Amino acid sequence: MNSDTLNTLNSYSINKYKYGFVTEIDDEKPKKGLNEDTIKFISLKKNEPEWMLDWRLKAYSKWKKMKEPKWANLSFPEIDYQDIYYYSAPKGFEKKPKDLSEVDPKLIETYNKLGIPLEEQKVLAGVAVDVVFDSVSVATTYKGELEKLGIIFCSIGEAIQKHPDLIKKYLGSVIPPGDHSFSALNSAVFTDGSFVYIPEGVKCPMELSTYFRINAENTGQFERTLIIADKGSYVSYLEGCTAPKRDDNQLHAANVELIALEGAEIKYSTVQNWYPGDEDGRGGIYNFVTKRGLCAGKNSKISWTQVETGSAITWKYPSCILKGDNSIGEFYSVAITNNFQQADTGTKMTHIGKNTKSKIISKGISLGKSQNTYRGEVSFLRKADKARNYTQCDSLLVGNQCGAHTVPYIDSKNNTAVIEHEASTSKINEDQLYYCRQRGLSHEEAVSLIVNGFCKQVLQELPMEFAVEAQKLVSISLEGSVG
Amino acid sequence: MFLEIKDLSVKIENKNILKSLNLNINKGEVHAIMGPNGSGKSTLANVLAGKEDYEILNGSINFKDNDLFDLNIEERAQEGMFLAFQYPVEIPGVNITPFLHSAINSKRKRMNEEEIDNLSFAKLLKSKASDLGINIDMLKRSVNTGFSGGEKKRYEILQMSILNPDLAILDETDSGLDIDALKIVTDGVNKLKTKDNSFLIITHYQKLLDYIKPDYVHVMVNGSIVKSGGSEIAAEIEKDGFQKFQ
Amino acid sequence: MNIQDNYQKNKKNIFFSENKDIQTYREKLINIFENDRFDKKNNESLKNINLKNFFDFKYKYLISEETSVINNNQENSYSIVSVNGQCLSYKDDKIEITKILDEDYIDFSKNDIIENNDHFVNLNSLFLNSGFKILIKKNNNIKIKISNIITDDDLTIFQKNNYICEEGSSLNLIEEYENKNNSTSNILNVIKLEKNSQLNHFLIQDNSSNHNLIITTHSSVKKDSTYTQKVYNFSEGYVRNFHYSELKEANSEADLQGIFFLKDNNTSNNKTYVKHLAEDCKSNQVYKGILNDRSKATYFSNTHVDQVAQKTEGYQLSKGILLSDNASYFSKPELKIYADDVKCSHGSTIGPIDENAIFYLRSRGMSKIAATKILISSFINEELSSIDNEQMSEIIQKKLVRYLSKVK
């Protein structure tokens, strides 16, 4: 490697996380630790019906018997579940404020700093936002307009109160609480998150978006999102996340369930930028997330797009169960790791129905001393006649102290199904760098340009409003400078 | 002196490529370097552009009153040096338009000129492209990706006309071009030619020089210039080949 | 019978039982067996395996009276008949065949590539009852053909062979496994290639349905040396091909290839693993499989590139054709890369025979079955045409024709 490349690399490893500030706000927490009382406290705070508390307690008793999954290529100290707060709410949020005049100005200020203004007139045109601060949803924009179409977009807490039938029917139907220890944990202690229901035949006219923020110290965030797209409907949903800089690791264990009925389409995009820890690997979010979508009906489609740049540890496999005939699952992913970050991410495409199709495009970029693993499973079950999968996963190494790993599992039990898988790993191309620099671009600009080009296939899947943001985020993750 | 190469010796991987090479180029001049394969022509182009694989053993290069070895690749480019590559590399996913836009602005920044905005740049790019007979659709594609050999060369000339360099080095730009493409490329070069800029044209064949008239022709063999003169040398090579210079 | 009892009862017939260190090591292995939950999901060596068949076995071993033969028919060419895993000792100025020694055993037990939950390798180490060591002396160019014969039903062969190619030597090794009796062979090849040496290793596997073959190779390759392995598996019984290679010094190369043809209820498990530990090394891992009826296969491939192994080129390809709707194929092509200046890739496809191609051939007047057979042959054409030994090429062709005759 030449000296310029080294200099650029060194400048990258100085991490500057621009969302690392803390909001000084009084909060309300139960005692640390996980036990039945904690769960009862959460359920009481949320004013939940009896059946919900039972559901949580059942999940908790499952969790007690389970061990964390260990197969991922990650190393981290044992998580002490008794040293975590399971609930934290800014004071005064016993009830969700009716409008912004009831919201603490400090909170509004926080979101302005994060570039997520809560006043509707300032909000990105055509995007409705639900904002979750620690354990509670603080604001949901454009609610009225959506209601006219029969679309329900609210916090999951509110949905439990107002739409118990939908919750009872679908919550845990794609990710059973007993699936693995993180799903059991989330089911026991989830605090807030978003709920979306799109009625039959409705195309949601705007992007729905949730913004998650962890603020309080030693607090886990356990949000739960449930999206149901009824027959022939369409919705595009985007999730973003940040957290303050802290020296301790914080746990984030979300569950996201998507259900697409016949002919429905759900597009789910994530820009994950949790605090990744500092350049010595201190602090950062442990991001153990379960995301799973069920293409329940014929001709349905679920598409996951993720840009993962944050978190000290990312453990995340947005998956599709392709049950309905002709259903389609897609997964587009960019994962960038720098410094001491570790990511083990990918997807699982389970083809059950006939003529089901899936596509996986994964781009991993490793820098610094990080470890970046793609892990994906594609399986064709016996009855998945004529099913098809195409997978492409490419890794780019920038620097010689990081690792890039590819672990695909390919399982075919049907002789009419076709699977194609390609993967490559290489370093950043010196000829491309030379070419760009000969045209006058600095080394750093050239790297950022080439990496963005490498990710383009994925970035172009993001909704327009966010594609530009994501590109900047990619550059920032490389530069470590404020974009 | 605009460009002055003095006693330049260069090696790569234990192989001496350039040996005590001398070359002077003044403002407004067109120089051609001809030589057989492996004589070190492309090495000279890459050393001028600042490619890092080479080891400079001896000598100096002065460009516009700068010691060239003090400048890195992009600083040389920003100072007005342009290399039209023999094999332009493909950069998938990097769109041509923003790529060239950042390139021109990094040059303007160094020259303390105002940066050019999106709209004016798009206009400039369009007009230059149509001058060179380049389809506007091509500007939506990724840099050199999926281009034919001729398209790549034409696209190099387009970049050259946008960046408007003081010294343009054309490294075997004629190779792989049919006669029509060669005409488009050389027309582009001739349009760009003023009394303030200079060209260094590296070629294997004399044909290119039928379209671009050089002021000086140099014959390069085995890493040094063995003969210099006017365009009559090109005709001599056309007739007898490089044999007699070796 | 459980493993502990089996071992205690047959200890006296097992190699190196008097060696204290080896005894201690074996006790550790027994412990691993007793404490393992035989979790099929997370243990590559157990996938698709009927545990009872392999781990609840009756140990039986006989030293054959028929002496094994060594034939020096042409110059530099040797034919060996190994019976029940044994081979006569032999020595000339080019090669040397001896028994394996305690120290070879201990040396292998220290390898850090093969997972310690690979229960088949552990069984081999525990019950070792046969094997030999072949040394190719400096700068010799040798051809060896080994026929592996098993004499009786119900034998359980646990065999360890060592091959050493000294500096500048070259070995062309053809191994045939064609057993028709109800027995199990568990073979471990330990191969060492010294500087500037070469080994072309062909394994032709064609056992009947009642013979199980478990074959594992561990090769370590030094500077400027190349290990090439080609496996042709036509067996009707279970075959496990697990092959590991360590590229220990610069400019070395490992090429691990295999093709397998499965039918009926047969299963085959395959794995290749190349660990790059030095600069400028190359590796290839290419497996292709045809699966008919209710057959099952797995293929695990793995390229591991150490931090120092700059300028590595690693390539993997896995292809499967499923001829029947009850066949299944699992593949896991892994890349683990810790160096940045590398070119590594893998490709994997699983599917039926290309229908468009069948249609095309039928439109030219060919029957569906004939078209299918032609396309299967073309699927492995590259592997077949690269065999430069005419005699071997003929043998393989014959076996292919036999397999194709059963395809309907």
Q: Is B167 helix (H, G, I), strand (E, B) or coil?
A: strand
Query: In this structure, what token pair is assigned to residue A376?
Result: 């994906």
Specify the pLDDT at position C290.
96
Q: What is the pLDDT of residue A339?
A: 86
Kindly report the nearest CA distance between residue A432 and chain B, in angstroms.
6
Average pLDDT, chain C: 91
Within 8 A of B142 by CB-CB distance, chain A residues are 453, 456
Confidence of residue A10 (pLDDT cuts 50, 70, 90): low
Interface of A with B (CB under 8 A): 2-4, 429, 431-432, 434-443, 445-446, 449-450, 452-457
Helix axes B118-131, B149-163, angle to 10 degrees: 130
Cα–Cα distance for residue pair A194/A192, rounded to 1 Å: 7
Instruction: Give the residue numbers spanning the domain of B100.
Output: 3-245
Residue A482, pLDDT > 50, answer no
Confidence of residue A14 (pLDDT cuts 50, 70, 90): very low
Q: Is the predicted pLDDT of residue A2 greater than 60, yes or no?
A: no
A28 SS3 class: strand
Q: What is the rounded average pLDDT of the residues B139-167?
A: 88
pLDDT band of residue A480 (cuts 50, 70, 90) is very low
A445 to chain B: closest CA residue: B102
User: What residues of A are in contact with residue B106 (Cβ under 8 Å)?
Assistant: 440-442, 445
Span of A24-33, A168-177, C90-99, C146-155 with lowest mean pLDDT: A24-33
Nearest CA in chain A to B108: A440
Separation CA C400–CA C392 (nearest Å)? 12
Contact A440 B163 (CB under 8 A): yes
Measured in angstroms, the CA of C261 and the nearest CA of chain A are apart by: 15
Q: What is the ipTM of this complex?
A: 0.87
Q: Is B103 in Cβ contact with A441 (below 8 Å)? A: yes
Q: What are the tens digits of pLDDT across the range A70-96?
A: 888 888 888 888 888 887 776 665 565
| Residue A424 touches partner C, C-beta closer than 8 Å | yes
Tell whether C19 is within 8 A of chain A (Cβ). no
- Least confident segment among C62-66, C88-92, C376-380: C62-66
Q: What is the mean pLDDT of residues C140-150?
A: 92
Residue with tokens 């396309």: C375
Q: pLDDT confidence of A1, banded at 50, 70, 90?
A: very low
pLDDT at C385 over 80: yes
pLDDT top residue among A381 and B241: A381
CA distance C189 to C220: 11
pLDDT above 90 (res A401): no
Cβ-nearest to C328 among A401, A413, A423: A413
Cβ of residue C352 closer than 8 Å to a chain A Cβ: yes
C 171-190 → A contacts, CB under 8 A: none
Name residues whose C-beta falls within 8 Å of residue B194's C-beta, 6 or more positions apart in sequence.
B28
Q: Helix, strand, or coil here: C31?
A: helix
Are residues C337 and A424, on separate chains, in Cβ contact within 8 Å? no
Using the structure block, give the residue that is written with the tokens 């000129």: B113
- Are C342 and A422 inside 8 Å of each other by CB? no
Tell me if A445 and B106 make a contact (CB, 8 A cut-off).
yes
B167 contacts in chain A (CB < 8 Å): none
Instruction: Specify whether the CB–CB gap between C334 and C325 falls below 8 A.
Output: no
Q: Tokens representing B160?
A: 């050259």
Give the contacts of C88 (CB within 8 A, at least 6 positions apart). C67, C68, C69, C70, C97
- What are chain B's partners, defined as 3 or more CB pairs within 8 angstroms? A
Neighbouring C-alpha atoms within 13 Å toward the C-beta of A142: 24
Is residue A223 classed as helix, strand or coil in its secondary structure? Answer: coil
Selecting from A429, A438, A453 the residue whose C-beta is nearest the C-beta of B77 gives A438
The better pLDDT of the pair C342, A250 is held by C342
Rg of chain B over CA atoms, in angstroms? 18
Q: How confident is the model at residue A483 (pLDDT cuts 50, 70, 90)?
A: very low
Could you say which of C42, C337, C351 has the minimum Cβ distance to residue A419?
A: C351
DSSP A219: B
**d(C-alpha C407, C-alpha C370), whole Å:** 10
Residue of A nearest to B156 (CA): A439
For residue A252, the one-letter residue type is: H
Pairing mode of beta strands A342-351, A319-322: parallel
Interface test with B, best of A1, A334, A438 (most B CBs within 10 A): A438
DSSP element (H, E) containing C287: strand C282-291
Task: State the pLDDT at residue B6.
Answer: 94
Angle at A406 between CA A405 and CA A412, to 5 degrees: 160
CA A324/CA B64 separation, integer angstroms: 69
Chain B interface with A: residues with Cβ < 8 Å: 49-52, 72-74, 77-78, 82-83, 85, 88-89, 91-94, 99-100, 102-104, 106-107, 110, 142-143, 159, 163
Could you read off the pLDDT of B166-222 as tens digits, one per residue?
999 999 988 878 888 888 888 888 988 999 999 999 988 788 888 888 999 999 999
DSSP class per residue in B94-151: -BHHHHHHHHHHHHHHHTTPPPPPHHHHHHHHHHHHHHTT--GGGGGSBTTTT--HHH
Facing residues of C198 across strands?
C170, C226
Distance CA C160, CA C106 (A): 12
Q: What is the largest CA-CA distance in chain C?
A: 71
Give me the helices (H) in A81-223, please: 105-113, 143-148, 156-162, 164-170, 181-189
How confident is the model at residue A299, as a pLDDT? 97
At residue A45's C-alpha, the angle toward residues A40 and A48, to 5°, is 70
What is the DSSP code string of C126-170?
HH--B--EEEE-TT-EEEEEEEEE--STT-EEEEEEEEEE-TT-E
Q: State percent of chain C over pLDDT 90.
A: 65
The mean per-residue pLDDT over the stretch C270-297 comes to: 96
Pick from A406, A416, A427: CB nearest C335: A406
User: For the segment B119-136, what is each residue's pLDDT rounded down to a tens digit?
Assistant: 899 999 999 888 888 888
- The residue ranges of every structural domain in chain A are 3-479
**What are the residue boundaries of the structural domains of chain C, listed by start?**
3-356, 357-408
Query: Which of C41, C303, C340, C407 would best serve as a mutation to test chain A binding (most A beta carbons within 10 A)?
Result: C340
Asked if A470 contacts A273 with a C-beta cutoff of 8 angstroms, the reply is no
Q: In what order do the strands lie in the sheet with B55-63?
A: B15-25, B3-12, B55-63, B66-67
Give the CATH number, domain containing residue B29: 3.40.50.300
In single-letter form, the type of residue at position A132 comes to: V
- Count up the domains in chain B and report the number: 1
Model confidence over A324-341: pLDDT tens digits? 999 999 999 999 998 889
Q: Which residues of B touch A431 (CB under 8 A)?
A: 89
